[in-house]
Amino acid sequence: MNGAQALMKTLVDAGIEVCFSNPGTSEMHFVAALDDEPKMRAVLALFEGVATGAADGYARMADKPAATLLHLGCGLGNGLANLHNARKGKVPVVNIVGDHAIAHVKYDAQLQSDIETVARNVSPGFVRTSQTTADLCMDAVEAITTARGLPGQVATLILPADVSWGEGGSPCALPAQAASPVADDGAVRAVVDAIRSGKKTALLLGGRALREPALMAAAKVAAANGVTLLAETFPTRMERGEGLPPVERVAYLAELAGVQLADIAHLILVDSKAPVSFFAYPGKKSYLVPDTCTVHTLSRPEQDALASLEKLVAALGADNAQPEVQQLQCPSAPRGRLSAPKVCKAMGHFLPENAIIIDEAITSGLMLNAMTAGSPRHDMITLTGGAIGQGLPNAVGAAIACPERPVIALIGDGTAMYTIQALWTMAREQLNVTTIIFNNASYSVLNIELERVGAEDAGDKAKSQLDLNGPVLNFAQLAQGMGVHGVRVDTAEAFNYALEYALSQPGPHLIEAMVPESLNGLKRKILPWVLRSLPSLPLPVTRTLKNKIAP
Amino acid sequence: MNGAQALMKTLVDAGIEVCFSNPGTSEMHFVAALDDEPKMRAVLALFEGVATGAADGYARMADKPAATLLHLGCGLGNGLANLHNARKGKVPVVNIVGDHAIAHVKYDAQLQSDIETVARNVSPGFVRTSQTTADLCMDAVEAITTARGLPGQVATLILPADVSWGEGGSPCALPAQAASPVADDGAVRAVVDAIRSGKKTALLLGGRALREPALMAAAKVAAANGVTLLAETFPTRMERGEGLPPVERVAYLAELAGVQLADIAHLILVDSKAPVSFFAYPGKKSYLVPDTCTVHTLSRPEQDALASLEKLVAALGADNAQPEVQQLQCPSAPRGRLSAPKVCKAMGHFLPENAIIIDEAITSGLMLNAMTAGSPRHDMITLTGGAIGQGLPNAVGAAIACPERPVIALIGDGTAMYTIQALWTMAREQLNVTTIIFNNASYSVLNIELERVGAEDAGDKAKSQLDLNGPVLNFAQLAQGMGVHGVRVDTAEAFNYALEYALSQPGPHLIEAMVPESLNGLKRKILPWVLRSLPSLPLPVTRTLKNKIAP
């Protein structure tokens, strides 16, 4: 048995049954080993960022890692942005990077580079170049163990070609997973004191605390003690909708987050971190927690969030509290000329039971959370690390993890072009993904940011760096060029029809929603619009902001 | 004047007049500064790999660096593969990477990563995070000086947002460029002795030694002393065709390179390195120079290759030798069902004067060199670092550097999909680029490599990782979706017509050549085919191989 064959066996024995790959010559023995292992599904991507983003999306839904297969340092480089997103989302990925044969390295051939250095950023917990075929599977076991522990991590195993092709490989079994620690008594006591202080208190839920059991425990705390439930701005995976506790995400715009956090005296972190602004802005604070607020940590990412919340429930005597849950409450179908908020409204209206929403519509998706808050139960996956190009690959992975669930990816036009190659993998694997592209022919968020950083009087040359006009992309055509059914629509009626059709048919579909770029101007338009819109929404998820905004 | 404005002025004063950009929020002040600087042309890319590859292609043709503008560590990651190619090609690039404001770093916001570590691989000579607005332009001057020296380098200047937006920027002027050293007397003497030894001797030309003046000097050495002229396998930029000395590239396939190098007793390196195989293969040597061959270095990459060759010419008393130059000798236009060699033949037939060929057709371009050897004078740009996805971005950069010259990019289908977003920039900037995609629905080179690594009996599952069927990509449609005129052809006649049309019209065009994947099987098909084909070609460029192959 050669190294590649033994590694393959080690992976599947550890439950890693999908490999998202973009191989080259140095990975050919691993590729050849696929034939001997029926339990491993290999999913080809045309670009490494698709492979790594798919592994991320898969793990978010499967709750176990997939493997990637990348080609040397440059292949890893191409996959780095989505590994960054996985790292920030605490998502387990077993990242396998082929390398030159060890004896070949000294010749500094064309593709020679220092892979470990490239990997270090995204794999702080485990980067190793396996040195012998005999040791390979032990290295793999360490990588898998690191990846799937708490917090989930990207573990990078570098696989020299000769270690892969060498004979004497020997599969290894994974040791039983150690139980994760729970919030210690002191932390729980401090949180109980804060909650009982009579001052305004909020739980900020992140990571694993946004899954149903943890949400239910948090909602008991909220129901018994009048505590506000908040979610981190960019959840890795958030279970929500009918029957689950409504939780409001901290807004991306620091201006809105400030409103949400303004009068909180105690902020309690559960697998989350204290809110900071996404970017720094001249003269503005990065740390969004008010000076008058005390931050407590109930559980850290390496601790079991659910068990910690349950310990808190017990300490508060809230076991029998009745959690408030979301009732089914969907907006009507939109009508008339299409706009980004209308697409979000249609999502809320048509969202099927058990859907997986991938949200990478940075400005156009502004109303998505509010519009789908009362939809049938679903999962929401968001851009955890800010490296755009996550959404389409995430959709690939989520659809492979959950073939029976509809996946709907809402993606901005600028964002979509980073990893547009994902559409081909959707077609090849006939995945049940409905991709919705908001085509507003602009890096719309950057027009907002241009104003936020104080450069709002920019001229034509600067603004041309933010627009995607000349030519306007045709995503329906791009989809068709990759074998995905694609349509372009510009009315709400046509959008509704296309969405219903896509959801009723198997395989991938793409709907290109032509929407005006109406959100430019943070102060002039967006903030007033949000402040105007939210109070009229019937949805409890926006309660914090609504209560503060309503006259 | 803020930091960004001062940096912009420093760049244009140093002759850097093009910036290939994919900005985000942290780069907004640099973007805003574009409005104040009419001399800077900003070219937007939809993906960072396009921006970095365009900067590479630009510098190869302009002989001076362009700037990039990338967004934090993830943006740099996306651009890493093509920066690797630039590094391996000794191409100058001034890589500007925006970062969070310095005070924001400690909050570990979503996009926080260690940019310097990511950059180190591709920028070993210069990576610096500028710490103050006052120092920014001095840092930039060092970056530019490092980039444009010999050998050309990628220099990475990391620009924190507050250093960019801070007031007190002060532009700096570039010091005069120091003269590069020339081959020392001892090296020249050793080479003269080798050439006069009476044994078979070859000059292996690389880097700057493949430009006209150096080629002419090398050809004088060859003419006066019977020395063979070879070029490195993947030249950064090679001037060739009618009126220039014919130089044969060392073959990619080690099996063929072995034939070329077999009886050479003295191999003389001129801005090149001794040939090694691209990858390692079980039981095969990485170092391709025969044991009986002595390697000499006339000039290293940090030395002036032209002046060194001229010194050699003088030492040999060959000043008046008459260099052999290529005569115009074009193949006829191909006919019948289209194939990859026929596309190469059409290239040889139709190639216009002064064209720039970008060759990233890994297997399909096998006959390109031979077919265009006797074409009108042109430049050839190749994949220097092996990180595929270089060709389309290189074409963008080359067309911007040389707007009056036709650029023809020959790209494999698998390769094209890594940076397909480049087509949009071609459309936006209305560049005179004719893109030819060889659509054989396969990672054809990997089918060859699968055999070379000894895994030739691979099964269906392994082979499916190397094929691009199901669905077959439609590149004409992809081009149209990005605003580029695209056609798909499957006969030589249609290809000829499409090529003539594309070359006669301004702006970008894409021709999708549907070709059979006929090259599978190195031992069964390719080597016999090459050995059979080469002797019948009338072209001197294949002389070394032909002489050895002919019965």
Domain of A477, CATH number, reads 3.40.50.970
Instruction: Determine the pLDDT at residue B525.
Output: 66
Clarify whether residues B215 and B287 are in a common domain.
yes
Nearest to A279 among B25, B84, B287 (CB): B25
Question: 10 Å Cβ neighbour count for A135?
Answer: 16
- What are the E-state strand segments in A440-546? 485-489, 509-514
Q: Which of A63-72, A367-376, B272-281 has the highest mean pLDDT?
A: A63-72
Residue of chain B minimizing CA distance to A72? B387
Clarify whether residues B380 and B523 are in a common domain.
yes
Torsional sign, CA B269, B272, B278, B280: positive
Clarify whether residues A366 and A412 are in a common domain.
yes
Residue of chain B minimizing CA distance to A464? B44
Torsional sign, CA B495, B498, B501, B507: negative
Q: What angle do CA B523, B525, B531 make, to 5 degrees?
A: 85
Clarify whether residues B297 and B352 are in a common domain.
no
Verify whether the Cβ–Cβ distance B74 to A84 is below 8 Å: yes
Verify whether the Cβ–Cβ distance B280 to A100 is below 8 Å: yes
Clarify whether residues B253 and B121 are in a common domain.
no
Residue B503 and residue B406 in contact, taking contact as beta carbons nearer than 8 Å: yes
- As given in the structure block, the two tokens for residue B133 are 């607005």
Is residue A521 scored above 90 in pLDDT?
A: no
> Which residues have CB under 8 Å from A38's CB, separation 6+?
none
Nearest to B455 among A29, A452, A478 (CB): A29
Residues of chain B positioned with their CB less than 8 A from the CB of A424:
417, 471, 473
Verify whether the Cβ–Cβ distance A162 to B417 is below 8 Å: no
Q: Is residue A539 part of a domain?
A: no
Q: Is residue A370 part of a domain?
A: yes
Clarify whether residues A308 and A345 are in a common domain.
no
Verify whether the Cβ–Cβ distance A84 to B77 is below 8 Å: yes
Range of the domain at B491: 340-534
Clarify whether residues A373 and A505 are in a common domain.
yes
Looking up tokens 């929020």 gives B25
Instruction: Determine the pLDDT at residue A533.
Output: 64
Q: Is residue A378 part of a domain?
A: yes
Q: What angle do CA A58, A61, A66 make, to 5 degrees?
A: 30
Nearest to B449 among A28, A49, A74 (CB): A28
Verify whether the Cβ–Cβ distance A74 to B385 is below 8 Å: yes
Instruction: Determine the pLDDT at residue A284.
Output: 87
Clarify whether residues B346 and B491 are in a common domain.
yes
DSSP 8-state symbol, B487: E
Clarify whether residues A294 and A390 are in a common domain.
no
Coil vs helix vs strand at B467 = strand
Verify whether the Cβ–Cβ distance A473 to B482 is below 8 Å: yes
Q: Is residue B507 part of a domain?
A: yes
- The pLDDT profile of chain B, 551 residues, written as one tens digit per residue, is 999 999 999 999 999 999 999 999 999 999 999 998 999 999 999 999 999 999 999 999 999 999 999 999 999 999 999 999 999 999 999 999 999 999 999 999 999 999 999 999 999 999 999 999 999 999 999 999 999 999 999 999 999 999 999 999 999 999 998 899 999 999 999 999 999 999 999 999 999 999 999 999 999 999 989 999 999 999 999 999 999 999 999 988 888 898 899 999 999 999 999 999 999 888 889 999 999 999 999 999 999 999 999 999 999 999 999 999 999 999 999 999 999 999 999 999 999 999 999 999 988 898 999 999 999 999 999 999 999 999 999 999 999 999 999 999 999 999 999 999 999 999 999 999 999 999 998 887 787 777 777 766 778 888 888 888 889 999 999 999 999 999 999 999 999 999 999 999 999 999 999 998 766 666 666 666 666 666 555 454 455 666 665 44
Verify whether the Cβ–Cβ distance A453 to B161 is below 8 Å: yes
Q: Is residue B543 part of a domain?
A: no
Residue of chain A minimizing CA distance to B445? A25
Q: Is residue B324 part of a domain?
A: no
CA B16 and chain centroid, separation: 20
Clarify whether residues B156 and B22 are in a common domain.
yes
**For residue B247, what is the domain's CATH number?**
3.40.50.1220
Clarify whether residues B132 and B191 are in a common domain.
no
Q: Is residue B170 part of a domain?
A: no
How far apart (Å, rounded) are the C-alpha atoms in residues B244 and B327? 8
Q: Is residue A202 part of a domain?
A: yes
Task: Band the pLDDT of A518: cuts 50, 70, 90.
Answer: low
Residue B304 and residue B181 in contact, taking contact as beta carbons nearer than 8 Å: yes
Torsional sign, CA B267, B273, B277, B278: negative
Query: How many domains does the structure of chain A reveal?
Result: 3
Task: Band the pLDDT of A465: cuts 50, 70, 90.
Answer: confident
Q: Which of A323, A357, A337, A115 is nearest to A225 (CA)?
A: A323
Clarify whether residues A157 and A231 are in a common domain.
no
Instruction: Determine the pLDDT at residue A453.
Output: 74
How far apart (Å, rounded) are the C-alpha atoms in residues A91 and A94? 10
